[in-house]
Structure 1
Amino acid sequence: MTEQERISEPAAAVEAQVAKLTAQHARLAGSLTAIQAAIEARLRDDGLNYHLVKGRVKTAESVRGKLSKTGTDGTPKYPNGLDDLDDILGVRVITYIEPDVANVVTALAGQFRVLETTDKKAQQVNKGVLGYAAHHLILEVGPDNTPGGCAGCIGQRFEVQVKTVLQHAWAEFEHDIRYKAVGAIPPAIDRAFTLASGLIELADNEFVKIHEAVAREEANLPADAQGRAEPITSDALSEVLLAELPDHPRSKKEQYDWLVNLLNAMGITTVEKAVGLIGSADWNHVRERMAYKFPAGHVRIVDDLLLKEFGDQYIKETKSLGDDRARESKLRFRLKKLESS
């Protein structure tokens, strides 16, 4: 074999894998759509607050670059081609504050098979350095308890990166600079990125303190709330829940609008009636029966409360509210938990 043939053989193998990726692109794109929808549905079901869920199929150019990498001995780093890549499908979940990162990780671990989990921030802390901070998961659509809409992509692996908006901004900017750099990055720029990483960590911590301070400020229900007969609104409902459930995180803003519709469906149409229900609820019963893995968001725990109070009637009246086609089956499963002894 000539030297030219020896060099071109791995390149040809890489191109064959790239062609295979191209041929599978439509199927992969369909799987990504289903997986992303399942992730959003799970976060919505748990009442979690998040900024963005965004997915992508790895490009042919990116796959070509990754498969072309070799080890120190010159052998391919990914000898099995596409089968060695866990991030052909990738999803980013961007949260507002740091504690929600852990909640999202826990939620997704209950939805998909976890093949690998890496807390990049914890790694940085253990090394005593600053830098990229996010939580990476390698997940797989399992054959058991398969999320709705994902029956056609059982066995599909994918990567999820969970980070705050500030961590995301730092990572995107840092990657853009390094990707476009010609040659080595000057030490001064490396140092600037390290300093920026430290400032972002401080800012993330301050955001958590602000969030907690605002919750404490709003934790006192206005004295006239008990007698307010005006129609319940999402803002008023949020106010009531912050006062009644300060240890449970806020849900996404638009979810409170949906919760208003759920309440209205059961005849709870005023602030006064909402306060009466929420203020007299046996929240410990709901928490114990549902066995949440983390404090449920406001909307999720009230959804469960309404299910506990109204049972089958609640399912009948609200199964079609919202865009979750599997809502009825989910409610029936949760009702069994609520009714268990």
Structure 2
Amino acid sequence: DPEFRFEIQIRTILQHAWAEIEHDLGYKAGDLASQKIRRRFSRLAGLLEIADQEFVSIREDLDSYVKSVRENAAAVELDAVSVVTILERDEVMAADRWIADLLKVQLSAEPFYPYYLVRMLHAAGLRGVRETLSSLEARTQQIHDSAKCYFEIIDELWGIRFEETTQLPRGYSLVLLSHVLILASEPLALNKVRRLAEMYRTIDQAHGSITPIDIANKFVDKMTIA
């Protein structure tokens, strides 16, 4: 079947709808008694105009921030914008491709949930882009060594099999990095469980009877980081 592309111009629809409402109001309420209502209508029109201008301004500011992050990403703190720029770096793309090859799937054009990535990296103690890239480079071998076990665990916990979806989201190497950092940095199993459980709470990843503690215990029991 052919693929049809279309866009819905919400702003234009609202403008036409507003014109119809305004015309209807003027037609039905033309006497002096309607002046109070018309003033309220005018105030509302002004608020909508301000809202429209603010949305445009926010969009422009966000575009400007994205541009500045791309130009100087290494010095930027981790957030939902900067973490997406990390996924475009050669070292992250190489790590993602290695995992995709391991699973015998394609690397998707779509990223893993940016907000999840930020929260997981923060839980692992990472705050900046430069720090994250350095950590990925230092922990690449540990990611390779633990990847197979990681995917066996998520299959056991949630029945997630990327082999069946045929695609791996970009940035998944950072998911593994978060687990590796926590498991490698804490000498005591109790602390590993605590930190992993807290990470899973931040992304609200518990389902049904499986709690963050259950998830953390599973990783601590089965995923050994040398």
Tell me if both proteins adopt one fold, taking TM over 0.5 as the criterion. no
TM-score by length of 1: 0.29
Pick 1 or 2: higher relative contact order, CA cutoff 8 A, min separation 6.
Answer: 2
TM-score by length of 2: 0.42
